[in-house]
Structure 1
Amino acid sequence: MRFGILGETRAWHDDGTEVPLGGPARRALLALLLVRPGAVVSAERLAEEIEPGGTVSAHAVQSQVSRLRAVLPAGATIERGGAGYRILLEAGAARDAGDAEGGGEAVGGRGAGDGELAVDAVRFERLADEGRAALRDGDTVRAASVLRQALGLWRGTALAGLPDSESARLAAARLEELRLAAVADRIEAELRSGEPRAVVPELRELVGAHPLSERLAALLIRALFAQGCQAEALVVYEETRRHLADELGADPSIELSALHRELLNAGTAPTPAAPPSPLTSFVGRGTETSEVATLLRTARLVCLTGPGGVGKTRLSAEVARGAAAAGDDVCFVELAALRDGSDAARMLLSALGLRENGLQMAGEPQTPLDRLITALSDRPLLIVLDNCEHVVDEAAALAARLLTACPRLRILATSREPLGVIGEHVWQVRPLDEDAAVRLFEDRARAVRRGPAPDPGAVRRICAALDRLPLAIELVAARLRTLEFAELAGRLDDLLAVTACGSRGADARHRTLRSVVAWSWELLSEDEQRAARRFAVFAGGATARSAREVCGMDGDTLESLVDKSILEAVGGGRHRMLETVRAYAAERLHESGEEKRIGRLHAAHVLDLLGNAGQHLLRASQLEWLPRAAAEDGNLAAALRRALGAHDHGTALRLLASAATSLWIRGVSATAAAHAAALLEAVGEEFGERAADASPDAWGEEYAVCVLLAAATSAGQPAWRRHRAAAQRALEVAWPGDRAGRYPAALLLWMMRNAGEADPGAAFTLVAAQHTCPDPWGRAAAAYVSGYGPLSDGDTERAAHDFRTAADGFGALGDRWGSALALDALAGLAGARGDRAEAVALTDRALALTGELGALEDSADLLVNRGDQRVGRDPGLARADYTEAAALARAGGSSAGLGAALRGLGDIALLDGDLDEARRLFTEALERIDPHWVKSLGNRVCALAGLGRVAEARGDHAAARDHYRQAAASVSGLGPRLPDTLRLMGLQEAAAEAVMRAG
């Protein structure tokens, strides 16, 4: 059942059919009882209300009640109560009534479930109260919805059709006042939700109908002002003041007068805070500035994220200045000073030049957010919220609410983590590229010190050490005011302590690198700080699995640290820390007391990764596993430093041995040479003697690998000479022939290096033992090295057979590295017999294989060999090969490879007649070529012969003979067929003849 008195009095059954109430007397009787359901109304009053001034008897009233009872729907009862009557409604009726009107959930949500809710006036009052409460709580969207629902219950004038009595008039007037208050509440909710244009026409009509209502006048004033109609708002105030004076003889209330003063004070439009003016040039972000500006034309919320000091604020300011220059309204809001995120809206109000309590009614206070919505609801504006990370939740809520309520608003935020708002476009601000970083350093250096520009190479190294972070570069460049450049470069190990001299105007957290990182660190939870400090052991980054096993870091924590710019994703499922962050985290790890334990876990994990990769590096799956091993180079170096520092020589040996195959294949073994030499120095020669005599499962093979790695650079040659004999014996124990050792690549490299010695017999003895080795890769390696024996004797057919056997063996295993070595050897034989086309074709095949592997040293060696094949017919192509080889050798740190390339360029200079350049190149080549490496022997002979030809061209025959004799001595031990040997080494005919005469 339902009853309605908000209009003509009516009643309905549960099925919606209307109840026939009868004539006006019965409708008036029901209405009077429904005004206060459950309250007793005296019979005398009922008689008076039914017929004012009439003579209705108590019996007549009883008769009307009886007739009304007969038609009432189920659930409604009229009963006698004392000297009058009352109507009782069952609770079930309330649910039905609420459902029927669509208001059951809203009303019931406030605990009302009594039968009185079957009356529309009661439901209206409950809903109006609920809407007003929501408005007070600041939930303007819900308030507007509930109040619309309440007002939707009205069908006309309250208690329409009742006889004109004082009681009826008072009851109707009360309901109409409540209705007008609900309308005002609904309009205020809509106005505070950012809908001023929609409510202005309605407010004009209401103010015209109720000219003495100060609240309606205040609402109209606020709505007009929000639309920019300040003059019209002043007119409304003046008309209201006149009506009050003329009709009531009263002045406007204190609240309305205060609103008037606010309106007058707002006569000058507030000026939003402009972006900060730059004090220095803007370097290296031009493209990003344009791209972010373009994105903001279609995206309403863009968040610039990245680590501290990467330049988010500067980039946002440049974008904002560009928008302002294009005529857009811009407001720049700096949130770094906030301690409480609840003040973010107030900070924005202040930046906009608005008063927090402007144009609002006392007693109905607006929140700062309401104030912002009113001011920005229809205003085109770009707001920059800078440094949101420490109040990210509050900043996100503010941005989301403003963007929802203000359709012409755009927001550009900067934060070390995304805001996490629907519709947000995240723009990761990266460190500067290398060239931009150098330009920034040089620009800031010139600003503090005059003089010659610093060495560009050294500047690049400094910028790389600073992660190419703009703030870090500016802080360090500023130190040139008091430090010499060389002194500054030598103090970069203490990155975090570098202070920006003369930057007193900078924010405190931007005065040192330490404060920049600390700002981010303090925003982390305890679990995040623990995981981050442990991650500091990963100098080369880590996968999620590695972070979990070493740091105990779960996926949520990893994702959170990425979001907060403590870690960054670098592709391939890996994450890394910027060096500035890692240095700070390492300090925290040391302070925690768990540095040694985490360091041991890290070393064990690196050993496991490299050991697992080593099983695949000499097989078909090497393309998949080489990048995995290469990714751990930084971690290998860090683990080696910790092991050497802790005198944990066993761990250091195993680390070097596990990594060696990857380093050799990629041609970057020189990067580990210093560690290997330091380790050999630490263990001493006695260790080598013990290792050579130990069982195969001891560390003898690891020791031999370490000796090989030390020999990769000239600095390690002394260690190589001291430990060579012991390492030879250790390898013989590890690879006796009837069983395989653990590091097959070491076997090949050892044989190659020792084959170039004056007495290579031991190496070839080791080779001979491997022809029946159970390891197929070891057998292929033995065949490859064996080919150099008959080659030195002039037996090219036997040499070709051995090289083809090796190529077949390596190819069957899918090993591109070994296959390339064998193809290169076959190419040398083809060139020696004059088949240059075949030689180049074989070299091209080998280059394709090393290119797949990213093998820098071997690719450089192959390019030199191809240049040697081309130099006689096309010096231009040969020059290109030598130049590319030099670049690859430098990138891989290969001194021998660079020496070979320089020798080739020396040949080109000699052909061009540039004797000075040729002499310089040959001399530098000899300084770099490894005389113990069998494949370097030819380049050494060619360089010596080249110097001889330069001297001969200048008429210095004595010097020429001396160089030719040195060349002849280098090959005299390789066999009786010197002409064939020289031809295999690629010497030009005139040089070969001179060497033979000298020999």
Structure 2
Amino acid sequence: MRFGVLGPVLVDGVEVAAPRQRALLAMLALDAGRIVGHDQLIGGLYSSPPAGAANALQSQVSRLRRTVPGLVIEHHPAGYRLVAAPAEVDVLLCLELLGAGRGAEALRLWRGPALADVDAPFVDEARRRLTEVFIKCALSGGTQNDLRGLVSEHPLREDVRAALMRSLYRDGRQTEALEVFAEGRALLAEELGVDPSPDLAAAHLEVLRAEAPHRGVPAQLTSFVGRDEDLRRVAKWLQDNRLVTLIGPGGTGKTRLAVEVAHREPGEVAFVDLTATADVARALLDGVGAREAGLLSAGPASDPVSVEERLRAALTAREVVLVVDNCEHVIDEAARVLGGVLSACPDVRVLATSREPLGITGETLSPVTALDDEAAVQLFRDRAQAVKPGFTADQDVIAEVCRRLDGIALAIELAAARVRSLPIGEITARLDDRFRLLSRGSRTAAPRHRTLHAVVEWSWDLLTDAERDLAARFTVFSGGADLAAVTDITGSDVDTLTSLADKSLVEVADDRYRMLDTIRAFCAGHAPDLRERHARWFLTLAQETEPHLRAHEQVRWIERLAADHHNLVAAVAWATGNSVELALELVAALATYYWFRGLRTEAAQQADAVLHACGETPPAGREQEYALCLLLAWPVAAGDQTARIRQADSLLGLMREPPRYPIMTMMWGMALGAPEAESQMWHRRNRLLGTDPWSAALALVGDGLVARMQGDVVRGQDFLRAGAVAFEQVGDRWGAALALNQLGELVLSQGDAAGALACVERARGLLAELGSTEDTAEVVTGQAQARLAAGDLDGARADFDLALGLARRAGALVVQAGAHLGLAELARLTGEYVAARAHCDQAWELTPGGWYGPDEMRCHIAMERGRIARDAGDLDEARACLDDALRRALRQRNRVTENAVRAELAALAGP
């Protein structure tokens, strides 16, 4: 559990409603892990302790335990102790971070005034102590705004005022820093009759002495947005290292970040832009003002060696920061000249910007990457409001524009500038042709920064022929690729790929290479068509991976395919329009992956598109893959779905051995429903089951489901329990979770809520390893049903709401319907019949006509509607709903549901 007192009091993000319990929890959390005495707790809770205060305290502790399930409060002879690690209590974690010098992280734990919602005798003293902690956080890692706020609240705190002065002075705002000092000195004299402390006086002296020039650092006309953390990090690195290079693609904001760092440097700074020169040494000599110092006598002006010697002579005795911007087009020369300066001039530090590293020993690299969503949206709003005062737009729309522009600062600024003449909806719609849309920039900017095309073209022109060829070929990938995929599909070599990474044309993260969409859009115009090669490579990967998805290494291989999900989607899409045989093979090979990840709707849509491309007849030799596509696509297929299932069944009837992909047998069983014992379908199912351990586990689960539907509870439990064990032995978490979830439902039907809860909790743990949101949502619904049966209405409601949120995120309509159905039952039990009917209506609307088992879901909805009508006193409506439920149960051949409906009807009829 996680406890919060730095703001409103929270437990795992949830407030405690009762004021006195909240105060009690706060006192225990402040001293978590230590015994808090009875007298201290009583005195902290009550201004005038009641008679029997010890019993009252014990009662409050008991209520708190009930209010917060899982809360562990130990009783000792001397008092009570909250069992929690320091990292689980925000104030204790805050103190640990402060002790480790991580003030910025500590400050982020504060959510507002400490103990904001607590009103008890202990709170004033506690808040005073916590205020001191907050001040230490702000002094250690706070922003200028944090310090201003503290000065307003504590005008006589000289340490806070000194920190604000130093922050303003580092920001180049010397006059404001002096004003802060003057105001403090006057207050100290007026309120306390004293002079400033030595610390405040020392800060004043530092500001007065801040006269070092910032030569050539350009003034900025717009606000600095979104890189405060980068700013702090680079400034610190520049204090600790003599060469820091900001690297990243064009337009990400390297120059602007370097300028902001330069403005905050307290000493001498020289800013040198290398964009328009090939003579690095002379540009640096001009930038540091050496000619103004009369150093031209060291040799002939035309002699490069003499220019470099004059440069080093000018800097030997100076403590200066050289900000050298745009090194990429003269990278070798810049590295050589700057390397010589750093070697000869011990007090010189260099902050460089480049699209690739300088490659000098001791260089510290600071990648300048895309802005995160929050910063990108803030930047867009700021620049849009500058050109169109009063501009407003939906946050999600702006975020979508920024994401599609890869979070590239320049691209976002160019897009924001267009809001003066285009609605943001039009801007969004035109982003597919982003280079044309973003073709107007500031007339005062360097030519390569006036349009998005110019930014990328600058990088392209600096590449070698081999690098350009690979950059163009790389555009075949969607969402990036690993080293093997890149080298195999593009036919390039590792050295060229790493060179592209060094030049910021591709990014590297987690051993994968990725190209920003903006760069991809430019490079794609130079690319050969490698899409078939790409699709066949990923088909081989999918085929080789599929057996591993049903084994102990399942999670690792699912993650492997998940990393390439966008490539797999692109491969299927291309093959669907160009090679139906390849498309069929891809969809079939990926079926297991899609199902185990809970991406069934996406798989169904892909399969349906492939079937439309194929027509009514499978290509020769691809009958099995075609049948699997029929089974996958059935839930979303338009037209005669029954005919499709009959066609799949017919194709499966021609098979004399188990399918290549065992998941096909499972899907066939789901599509056709439970077979009658000893029927032709029963024998065909057994014939299509393989002899491998996974198929044997599947057979056990299938037998358990059939037994359950036939009303044989004991055999159903035995088969499902054995199936779960068999799947776990194989290593398939998904299969084991399927069996456990079904077992939980069966156990719950026998009134064993605790046993059901144990089953579904185990299933949920297995699915968490797979990251299958849809299946997790379904299991959480089962967990809610178990809590409801156990009488835990609050826990059930929380789980139903969680399941509904997860199902919405996954786009799982039937699971959403199940959650609404559960909420309907909960509302009925609490007498909220209008809400119960509304939840049933929502469940009915969300149950798609074609998904696996929709009639079974609608059967349960109809039965719940009948129960609601019965409890509300409308017996005619109840009977009509239950009759509808019975008809659906009979069609499903589900005797358990049928018996449940008949029992409801019998009860309705009376004795």
Q: TM-score, normalised by structure 1?
A: 0.65
CA spacing shift, 1:536–1:931, aligned 2, 3 Å: same
Gaps of 5+ in 1: 1-268
Deviations 1:510-562 (A, max 9, x none): 23332222211111110111111111111131111111111112111111111
Question: Do the aligned residues in 2 keep the contact of 1:755 with 1:933 (CA within 8 Å)?
Answer: no
Q: Does 1:645 align with 2:584?
A: no
Aligned to 2:559: 627
Aligned mates of 1:997, 1:346 — CA distance in 2: 101
> In structure 2, how many angstroms separate the alpha carbons of the residues matched to 1:811 and 1:748?
17
Q: Which residue of 1 aligns with 2:758?
A: 841
Inter-CA distance 913–277: structure 2 relative to 1 (3 Å threshold): farther
* Paired AA for residue 513 in structure 1: L
Letter in 1 for 2:413: E
Q: Distance in 2 between matches of 1:759 and 1:970?
A: 21
Match of 1:49 in 2: none
Q: SS of the counterpart of 2:240?
A: coil
- CA shift, 1:399, in A, is 1.9
Quote how far apart the aligned CAs of 1:956 are: 6.9
Residue 383 of structure 1: aligned partner: 322
Q: 2:442 touches 2:450 (CA, 8 Å); kept in 1? A: yes
Pick the aligned partner of 2:297 from 361, 367, 392: 361
Structure index of larger Rg = 1
Provide the residue aligned with 1:332 in structure 2. 271
SS in structure 2 at match of 1:517: helix
Q: Is the 8 A contact 2:889 2:898 kept in 1?
A: no
Match of 2:492 in 1: 553
Other-structure match for 1:499: 438
- Cα distance in 1 for residues equivalent to 2:799 and 2:638: 29
CA contact (8 A) 2:577 2:613 kept: no
- Offset of residue 611 of structure 1: 0.8
Distance across 1 between alignment mates of 2:534 and 2:355? 28
Q: 2:785 aligns with which of 868, 873, 895?
A: 868
Partner of 1:661: 592
Q: Which residue of 2 aligns with 1:454?
A: 393
Matched, 1:733 2:671: no
Counterpart position of 1:823: 740
Q: Is the 8 A contact 1:929 1:940 kept in 2?
A: yes
Q: Which residue of 1 aligns with 2:520?
A: 582
Counterpart-to-counterpart distance in 2, 1:821 and 1:355: 79
Alignment partner of 1:749: what SS? helix
SS in 1 for 2:297: coil
Is 1:674–2:595 an aligned residue pair? no
SS at match of 1:302: strand
Match of 2:255 in 1: 313
Answering whether residue 407 of structure 2 is matched by residue 468 of structure 1, we say: yes
CA contact (8 A) 1:752 1:933 kept: no
1:294 aligns with 2:236: yes
Alignment match, 1:705:
628
Q: 1:883 to 1:395 in 2, by over 3 A?
A: farther
| Structure 2 residue identity aligned to 1:611 | Q
Aligned residue in 1 for 2:196 = none
Q: Secondary structure at the match of 2:371?
A: coil
Does residue 351 (structure 1) correspond to residue 272 (structure 2)? The answer is no
3-state SS of paired residue (1:557): helix
- Structure 1, residues 146-183: CA drift from partner, whole Å, max 9, x if none? xxxxxxxxxxxxxxxxxxxxxxxxxxxxxxxxxxxxxx
Cα displacement (A) at 1:390: 1.3
Which SS does the other structure have where 1:524 is aligned?
coil
For residue 958 of structure 1, report the CA deviation from its aligned partner. Answer: 6.4
Shift of 1:504: 2.7
The farther-off stretch of 843-852 and 761-770 is 761-770
Q: Is residue 896 from structure 1 mapped to residue 818 from structure 2 by the alignment?
A: no
What's the % identity of the aligned pairs? 39
Aligned equivalent of 1:254:
none
Task: After TM superposition, list the pairs within 5 Å mapping 1:785-934 onto structure 2.
Answer: 785-872=702-789, 873-910=791-828, 918-930=836-848, 933=851
- The code of the aligned residue for 1:700 comes to E
State the one-letter code of the partner of 2:698. Answer: A
**2-structure distance, mates of 1:401, 1:757:** 82
Task: Give the drift of 1:310.
Answer: 1.8
Question: Which shifted more, 942-951 or 411-420?
Answer: 942-951
Alignment partners' CA distance in 1, 2:838 and 2:458: 54
C-alpha distance in 2 between matches for 1:727 and 1:915: 44
In the alignment, the residues of structure 1 paired with residue 802 and residue 386 of structure 2 have an alpha-carbon distance, to the nearest angstrom, of 39
* Aligned equivalents of 1:446, 1:722: Cα separation in 2: 58
Quickly say closer, same or farther: Cα 1:611–1:484, change in 2 above 3 A: same
C-alpha distance in 1 between matches for 2:316 and 2:622: 76
Give the distance between the partners of 2:224 and 2:484, measured in 1 at CA: 40
The answer to whether the Cα contact below 8 Å between 2:385 and 2:391 also exists between their aligned partners in 1 is no
Q: Among residues 540, 543, 560, which one is paired with 1:608 in the alignment? A: 540
Distance 2:261 2:222 in 1: 16
Call closer, same or farther: CA 1:705–1:360 in 2, change over 3 Å.
same
- In the alignment, the residues of structure 2 paired with residue 777 and residue 426 of structure 1 have an alpha-carbon distance, to the nearest angstrom, of 50
Cα gap change, 1:407/1:576 in structure 2, threshold over 3 Å: closer, same or farther?
A: same
Contact 1:345 1:368 in 2 (8 A): yes
1:406 aligns with 2:345: yes
The 8 Å contact of residues 667 and 858 in structure 1, kept in 2 or not, is answered as yes
Q: Distance in 2 between matches of 1:791 and 1:996?
A: 25
Residue deviations 1:81-116 (CA, integer Å, cap 9, x gap): xxxxxxxxxxxxxxxxxxxxxxxxxxxxxxxxxxxx
CA distance in 2, matches of 1:494, 1:898: 38
Whether 2:448 is the aligned partner of 1:516: answer: no
Answer yes or no: is the 8 Å Cα contact 2:298–2:306 preserved in 1: no
Letter in 1 for 2:263: R
CA contact (8 A) 2:387 2:420 kept: yes
Alpha-carbon separation, structure 2, partners of 1:824 and 1:373: 74
Distance across 2 between alignment mates of 1:729 and 1:542: 40
Q: Deviations over 1:461-495 (max 9, x none)?
A: 33222222222222223222222232222222223
Quickly say closer, same or farther: Cα 1:578–1:621, change in 2 above 3 A. same
Conserved? CA contact 2:480–2:512, under 8 Å: yes
The letter for the 2-side match of 1:361 is S
Corresponding position of 1:774 = 691
1:529 aligns with 2:468: yes
Aligned pairs for 1:149-548 (under 5 A) are 272-323=214-265, 327-338=266-277, 340=278, 343-355=279-291, 358-361=294-297, 367-449=306-388, 453-499=392-438, 501=440, 503-548=442-487
Rounded to whole Å, the distance in 2 between the matches of 1:463 and 1:720 is 41
**Cα–Cα, structure 1 residues 976 and 649, in superposed 2: closer, same or farther, change >3 Å?**
closer
In 2, Cα distance between equivalents of 1:478 and 1:651: 45
TM-align CA RMSD: 3.2
Bigger shift: 545-554 or 956-965? Answer: 956-965
| Alpha carbons 2:507, 2:515 under 8 Å: kept | yes
Partner of 2:654: helix, strand, or coil?
A: helix
Structure 2: 5+ residue stretches without partners: 1-210
Equivalent residue pairs, number: 696
CA contact (8 A) 1:756 1:932 kept: no
Q: Deviations over 1:272-303 (max 9, x none)?
A: 54433333332221111111111111011111
Q: What amino acid does structure 1 have at the position aligned with 2:559?
A: P
Alpha-carbon offset, residue 802 of structure 1: 2.5
Aligned CA distance change for structure 1 residues 740 and 411 (closer, same or farther; 3 Å): same
Q: Which amino acid aligns with 1:578?
A: L
Matched residues in 2 for 1:345 and 1:955: separation? 93
Helix, strand or coil for the counterpart of 2:802? helix
